[in-house]
Chain A
Amino acid sequence: DAKTTQPNSMESNEEEPVHLPCNHSTISGTDYIHWYRQLPSQGPEYVIHGLTSNVNNRMASLAIAEDRKSSTLILHRATLRDAAVYYCILRARTNNNDMRFGAGTRLTVKP
């Protein structure tokens, strides 16, 4: 499986944008980029996913580099509730649900 690299931790101020980077230099052409987050004492929660084009939903935006070797999850206005561990995961299109999580990025949001 292709590997992802994320910073161990990041900090943000409340109501400011947050850019969470992910490197995936060995991504294959059929790998989708998925982001999940895990709030304290909860199971992981789906955030967003994409293949080549940038994606937006009510939670976040996903910016994918043109060569697809990196991507950035963008939280437009961080709230205290966004404090969580964010995981960037690659999934092959033919793969059902085999999610290979790394260590993720722990996001701290300061009031």
Chain B
Amino acid sequence: ETGVTQSPTHLIKTRGQQVTLRCSSQSGHNTVSWYQQALGQGPQFIFQYYREEENGRGNFPPRFSGLQFPNYSSELNVNALELDDSALYLCASSPGTPQYFGPGTRLTVT
């Protein structure tokens, strides 16, 4: 158990819709990162937040956005969903090293 939880477990959305995924980190972990993992591939870094501010971003468009809250929870928001957004979305929290990953949210876009 990593102490990192994600909700929902699975989600089905239609192309063009918006989605919000949630993550609850361990207490004291000031940094949270989000990753997208397509089937059969390694996780791809989306962005990370440190003390409620974005401080790093991968090669993802602005329709991927996030929030981090003082209670160690965070959100990943994706607007204008596309079919290629279908993937497992992972959040990871840490005080530094190592990162602790949640089990992920499986998003299917139809």
Q: Chain A residue with minimal CB distance to B40?
A: A103
Closest Cβ of chain B: how far from A66's Cβ, in Å?
A: 24
Give the residues in chain A near B55, CB-CB below 8 Å: 96
The bracket for how many chain B residues form the interface is 20 to 34
Report if A97-B48 is in contact (Cβ < 8 Å); known contacts: A43-B92, A102-B42: yes
- The interface on chain A, measured as residues whose beta carbon lies within 8 A of the other chain's beta carbons, has a size of 22
Give the residues in chain B near A41, CB-CB below 8 Å: 103
In the bound complex, do residue A43 and residue B101 qualify as a contact, i.e. CB atoms below 8 Å apart? Answer: yes
Give the residues in chain B near A45, CB-CB below 8 Å: 2, 101
Give the residues in chain A near B97, CB-CB below 8 Å: 32, 34, 49
In the bound complex, do residue A43 and residue B104 qualify as a contact, i.e. CB atoms below 8 Å apart? Answer: yes
In the bound complex, do residue A97 and residue B56 qualify as a contact, i.e. CB atoms below 8 Å apart? Answer: yes
In the bound complex, do residue A97 and residue B94 qualify as a contact, i.e. CB atoms below 8 Å apart? Answer: yes
Please, how many angstroms separate the alpha-carbon atoms of A4 and B3 in the complex?
29
Tell me the A53-111 residues at the B interface (CB within 8 Å). 85, 87, 95-104
Q: Chain B residue with minimal CB distance to A102?
A: B42
Give the residues in chain B near A104, CB-CB below 8 Å: 42
Please, how many angstroms separate the alpha-carbon atoms of A89 and B38 in the complex?
18
Known: A99-B92, A103-B42. 6 other contacts (CB 8 A): A43-B104, A44-B92, A46-B98, A97-B31, A99-B45, A101-B35
